[in-house]
Amino acid sequence: MATSKPAPGAIRKEWVKKMADDAVLFACANPIPEIWPWEAEERGARIVATGRNDFPNQVDNSLGFPAILRGVLDVRATTVTDDMCIAAAQELSNFAEERGIHERDILPRMEEWEVFPREAVAYAIKSIEQGVASVKLSRKELYTRASTMICNTRELTRLLMKHGLIRKPPPKDKLLK
C-alpha cells in the first residue's frame, strides 16, 4: 500500500486502525511518506516501512539498483528478466534473515554494503543460467569483482566527500522541511 502522494494523510490513520491485526504497511512516497510511521504504529500497524533512511525499514530502489547494475555489467547481460530481479530480491531476503530481522529492521540497510556483492552475484548467476550473459564467470570470480568494485566506489565517494567535491547530505532534521 502506498508509493503515491508524498504527504502525511494520504493514508488516513482511521484506515490503519481498520486493517488486520499485525498489519504491514509500506508508505514509500518520498521525501514525505503517506503517513508518519509512528502514527501507523499507534493505530496498530505492526511493521511500517518507508522510503527514508532516517526511519526504520527503508524500502528504496537503492537496495537493488547498484547491485543489479553491477551484475549486468559483470556478465554483460543482453537483457533483464523478471527472474534475474527475483534472484536479487531473494538475496536481499537471505542477507536480512542471516543477520537477523525484527519488526523495525526487516531489510538490509544501505550501510550494510556486504549485501550488494551477494546481490550482484545472484543476479549475474541467474543471467548465466538463463542464457542472457555474454560473459560466464564463476561465483567466486563474480563475488571478487563485485566486492572490489563496490569497495573502491565507496572509498572514492568517501574521499570526494572529505575533500568537498561531493556535498554531504543535509542533517536528517532538515529532510522534514
Model-level pTM?
0.82
d(CA 94, CA 5): 31
Instruction: Give the residue-averaged pLDDT of 112-133.
Output: 97
d(CA 131, CA 147): 24
Give percent of the chain above pLDDT 90. Answer: 76
Residue 115 is which amino acid? V
For the beta carbon of residue 10, count every other beta carbon within 10 angstroms: 15
Grid cell, residue 75, equals: 556478465
- pLDDT tens digits along 46-60: 999 998 888 999 988
Residue 30 has pLDDT above 90, yes or no: no
**What are the b/e assignments for 47-60, b being 16+ CB within 10 Å?**
bbbbbbeebbbbbb
CATH topology of domain 61-162: Rossmann fold (3.40.50)
Q: Give residue 170's pLDDT.
A: 72
Altogether, the residues listed in the chain come to a count of 177
Alpha-carbon Rg for the chain, nearest whole angstrom, is 19
d(CA 166, CA 74): 27
Instruction: Give the residue-averaged pLDDT of 88-105.
Output: 94
| Nearest in space to 89 (alpha carbons), one of 112, 58, 67 | 67
For the beta carbon of residue 159, count every other beta carbon within 10 angstroms: 11
- Alpha helices (runs of H) in the chain, residue ranges in sequence order: 13-17, 37-42, 65-75, 82-99, 115-129, 139-162, 172-175
Catalogue the long-range contacts made by 94-103 (C-beta closer than 8 Å, 24 or more residues apart): 94/118, 95/119, 103/46, 103/47
Domain edges within the chain:
1-58, 61-162
Cβ(120)–Cβ(71) under 8 Å?
yes
